[in-house]
Amino acid sequence: MAKRPVARVLPESRLPQLDRVFDYVVPDGMDAPVGCRVKVPIGRSAKLHTGFVLERPESSDFGGELSPIDQVLSPVSVLTDEVLESAKALAKRQAGGVADVLRLAIPPRAVRVEKKWLEVTREAPILPSPPAVPEAMSASDWERLSRPGEKTVWHLRHGVAGSTPHGYGDIAALATEHLAHERSVVLVVPDWRDISLMEQALLSHLQEEHLVVFSSELTPSEHYARHLQCLEGRPMVVLGSRHAVYAPVSQLGAIVVVSDGDDAHREPLAPYPHTRDVALIRAEQTGCSVVLAGWTPSIEAVRFIEMGYFGETRVSMSSRPRVFPTRLALHGSDDPAPGRLPSAAFAAAKEALRTGPVLVQVFRAGFAPGLVCTDCGARARCSECGGPLAQSDVGSPASCAWCQHLHARFHCAECRGVAVRPSGQGVGRTVSELGKAFPGVPVVRADGEHRLATVPGKPALVVATRGAEPVADGGYHAALLLDGAAMLQRSSLDVLEDTLSGWEWAVSLLKHDAVAYLTDIDGPVATACAAGTGVSLLSDELRERTSLRLPPAVRIAAIEGPAAVVEELVRDVSTHDGVDSLGRSRLEGTAVREIMRMPYRIAPQVAELLRAAVVRDALSGRRGARLRVRMDDTRALDQLADGAL
C-alpha cells in the first residue's frame, strides 16, 4: 500500500486499452485538484500522456511502486463531477470509452485564455424578471415546461415576429423563466442558422452577460474561453450545436433540444452519441428537465410520448398557415406555369410577390443532381470510381459526387457518347428556371454555398434547399414546396420523419394568412401535411417498426472489422435472448459490417460485451483494420438497404 497521497488519472487517449484509471503518486508540494489536467508517464517507455485527475485517495490498491505525476498542466478543474458521471454513463450506453466522451465535452487547453480568465474578477449580472406566458399556451403547460425534472415534447407554434420565428421566441422566454429562478439552461440546436436565430431571440430577453454561445465559427481558444465561462458557478444560458449539450454549467434547470430528429444531432465521432441521449443522461445525473422542441416531433419523441415517459405540450393550431397538396391546386389559372409548378401555385406565387417574398423549397443541391448521356440516357458515371456525375452550376464541368473528380470530357460506357444532359432539378437549375418564369423578380439562392439566416420582407423569390431556408422579415407571403415525391422516394429509414420535418419548418416561416403549395405529391402524406396531422403518420410508422423490430422499437449495433473477428463476436452476442442479425455487408478488403438488433433491456449487457471485445482487439497486436462498434446508427441500415458501402 502506498502511503503518500495518490491521484487517479484517466488518460486523454484514443487507444481503447488506455481507457481506464491509473494510480500515481502526487509529489510533495504539487497541487493536483480533482478535475485538472496533468501529464503522466504510461507504460514501460514512460511516454507522457495528458489526462484528468478523477480522484485523490490517500492510498492505492496497486501492489507495485507508483510513478509520480510529471506535471500539472492547469490548476483549473475543467472536468466537473457531474460531467464525469454523465460521461461514464454515456460511454457505457454507447459501448465506447470515457476518454472519447470527454474529448467531445472538454476542449483543448488554451494557456493565454486560461491565464486571462484566472486574473479577472467577475460580478454576476442581475437576473431577469420572469417573462409573460407566450401566446397560444396555457399557464399550466407553461408551468410544466419551466419545472425542473419534467420531460416534455413541445410542439412549437408557427409564424414569425420580425425576423424571429415565434417558436424560437417562445424557447427564449422559457430560458428566461429558468434564469429568473436562478437555474441554468442549455439550448442545443442543429446548425449555424439556428444558432443565429436563437441568439437573436435570446438577446431580446436577456443581457449578453447571461449568454454563452458555442458556434462552429469559434477558434479553439474561443471555444475554451466559453467552456471556462460555464465553470463560473453562476446561472446562465448556453446556446450551441450538439457539443453544447456537455456544457458544465451549475444549477442546471433544463436542456432544450430543438428539432431532435435532425441528422446534425448525431455525433460523427466515437462513441457516436445522439444529443437527445446525452440530454437524458445528464437529466438523470442532475434532475434537470428535458424538452424536445420542434414543429413536428421525431419518431423517438413519439415513442417517448406513447410510453408515457414524456408529456406533451401543444399550442393552438389556429395560427398554422394553410397547406394545399398538388392535387388540390391543379386548376384555377390560365397563366403558363413552369413544368414543376401547377397553375394555381404559379398564380398564387405571382400574387404574393406583389407584396412580399415567396419561399421555394428545393430538395436537391447543386445545379443538376444527376447527369445522363444525351444519346442513350444512361446514367453518367465517374471514370475513376464509378460514382454518379453531377453539375454544381450552369456551365460548370461535370464532377463526381463521390470522389469530386472533374470530368471536362465525358465518354459514355454504354454508347461512347460524349455529351451529357441534366437529369433532375437542383437548386441552381431551379433558380435559372424561375428567373425566366418570373421576369423582373429578384431571385435569392440559399443553400450550403450561399448561407443566409434572414432576408428582407421585400418581394423576391427565395429558392432554398431543405434545411437552408432563411427567415423573411415578417414571414413569407407564400411557399412552394417542390420535389415532394423525390423526398419520399429516398431509401432511408427516417425518410417520412425527415420529410415532414422539412415541410413543417418551411410552413412555420409563413405569415399566418399565407398559403403553402405542396407540389408533385398527393396521398396520405400530403393530406396529413395539409391537415397538420403528421404525428398520426409517425405513430403509424412506429407501430409498423415495432412489428418489424426496427429502431427505435429496438436498439442496433453496427459491428465493423475483419470477417473472422466480426463472426466470432456476433456468435457471442447472439447468445443473449432477443439478439439477432439484420444483415451483413462487405466493406473494403476483407472487412465486413454486421448489424445486430437487441431489446432495450438486453442492450446494456451487449454494449459491455462489445466494448470488451474492442479493447481485446486493440491489445491483440493484430495488424490491419480494427474492430469498431457504432450503437444506434440508423445510417448503417440505410447503407445496408441501398448497398452504398
Helix-then-strand count for the chain, H and E: 18, 31
Contacts with 490 (C-beta within 8 Å, 6 or more apart), sequence order: none
d(CA 29, CA 45): 26
Spatial contact of 122 and 471, defined as CB atoms under 8 Å apart:
no
DSSP type of residue 626: P
Residue 76, pLDDT score: 96
Comparing CA positions, the residue from 176, 166, 288, 190 lying closest to residue 237 is 176
pLDDT single digits (tens) 461-519: 999 999 899 999 999 999 999 988 888 888 789 999 999 999 999 999 999 999 999 98
H-state helical runs in 233-342: 275-286, 299-307
What's the longest Cα–Cα distance across the chain? 92
Contacts with 26 (C-beta within 8 Å, 6 or more apart), sequence order: 4, 5, 6, 7, 32, 56, 68, 69
Verdict on whether the full-model pTM lies above 0.85: yes
CB atoms under 10 Å from CB of 184, counted, come to 26
Residue 424, pLDDT score: 57
Residue 423, pLDDT score: 63
Residue 395, pLDDT score: 64
pLDDT single digits (tens) 521-543: 888 999 999 999 999 999 999 99
Ranges of residues in the chain with a pLDDT under 50 are: 1-3, 328-337, 644-645
Residue 367, pLDDT score: 56
Residue 490, pLDDT score: 80
Number of residues that this document lists for the chain: 645
Beta-bridged to residue 152, according to DSSP, are 291, 311
Residue 86, pLDDT score: 98
Sign of CA dihedral 419, 424, 428, 430: positive
Residue 420, pLDDT score: 80
pLDDT single digits (tens) 33-83: 999 999 999 988 899 999 999 999 989 989 889 999 999 999 999 999 999
Comparing CA positions, the residue from 475, 476, 488, 490 lying closest to residue 519 is 488
Q: How far is CA 545 from the centre of its chain?
A: 22
